[in-house]
Amino acid sequence: MATYDLEEQERIDGLKSWWDVYGTLVIIILAILVAGVSGTQAWKYYQKQQADQTVELFNSLQVIDESGDSGKTRDAARLLTNGFPDSGYASRAALISARASIDEKDIKSAKEALQWMLVNSEENELKDVARLRLAGLLLDEKKHDEALKLLENKHSESFDSLYADLKGDIYADKGSTSEARAAYKMAMNKTEKKETRYKIIQMKLDALKK
């Protein structure tokens, strides 16, 4: 029995020595592991809450937009662009805000919303739409060179016809007939003949010959 007690005591003493050396490290490692699990769960919960709130705000924006109150539409859109700029809904909110501003003849606010999209949106097609609409506003202001420069940016192939068509409008308004003709022809080449837009572009091209 004495031998057993001695051996047991040696084990205990050995464990104490080991704990004296490594105990703090073990506690730190366990704390990190626990914090990691808790932190991951908390982060996932936070992300879900953010996503749910973003969807709710966007749904509210759509309801407000349907009411026709441009001011309230812009305010609702601003909640998304300011509060959740990394969300895909924020870029769509900015696009809705720009359209509402145009309807209200507030071109400055419309341009700001479209510029916001170009800086913050991570979706290339939304940026393509923003450039197209912003270039149209610049055309209305007779800022031809700015509009053309904007349309020179790389864009999705599906926008080739729209971009070329608008370039034709800009050149035509600028008085650059040959450039307008070339742009309209390019737009027609990128448009199905059965589409109504094809006939409209053809009419604009024919008008240049007069």
Number of domains in the chain: 2
Structural domain includes residue 93: yes
Structural domain includes residue 58: yes
Per the structure, the complete domain to which residue 97 belongs is given by 54-122
Question: How far apart, in whole angstroms, are the C-alpha atoms of residue 197 and residue 194?
Answer: 9
Question: How far apart, in whole angstroms, are the C-alpha atoms of residue 90 and residue 95?
Answer: 9
Structural domain includes residue 191: yes
pLDDT digits (tens, 9 = 90+) for 91-121: 888 998 899 999 889 999 999 999 999 999 9
The pLDDT of residue 8 is: 59
Q: How confident is the model at residue 69 (pLDDT cuts 50, 70, 90)?
A: confident
User: For a pLDDT cut of 70, what percent of the chain falls above it?
Assistant: 73
Structural domain includes residue 80: yes
pLDDT digits (tens, 9 = 90+) for 178-203: 999 999 999 999 999 999 999 999 99
Structural domain includes residue 132: no
Q: How confident is the model at residue 82 (pLDDT cuts 50, 70, 90)?
A: confident
- Alpha helix segments (H runs only) across 67-106: 70-83, 88-103
- For CA atoms 99, 105, 108, 109, the dihedral sign is negative
Radius of gyration of the chain (CA): 31
111 shares its domain with 158: no
Residue with more model confidence, 43 or 210: 210
Mean pLDDT, all residues of the chain? 81
Other CB atoms within 10 Å distance of the CB of residue 106? 17
CA 158 to chain centre: 18
User: Three-class SS of residue 61?
Assistant: helix
Structural domain includes residue 127: no
Structural domain includes residue 131: no
168 shares its domain with 207: yes
Structural domain includes residue 22: no
Question: How far apart, in whole angstroms, are the C-alpha atoms of residue 86 and residue 35?
Answer: 27
**Residue 105 belongs to domain with CATH number:** 1.25.40
Locus of tokens 């800022």: 143
Q: What six digits make up the tokens of 103?
A: 């309807």
118 shares its domain with 154: no
153 shares its domain with 206: yes
pLDDT at 39 over 90: no
Model pTM greater than 0.85? no
pLDDT digits (tens, 9 = 90+) for 139-173: 999 999 999 999 999 999 999 999 999 999 999 99
Question: How far apart, in whole angstroms, are the C-alpha atoms of residue 74 and residue 98?
Answer: 8
| Structure letter (DSSP) for residue 157 | G
The pLDDT of residue 66 is: 81
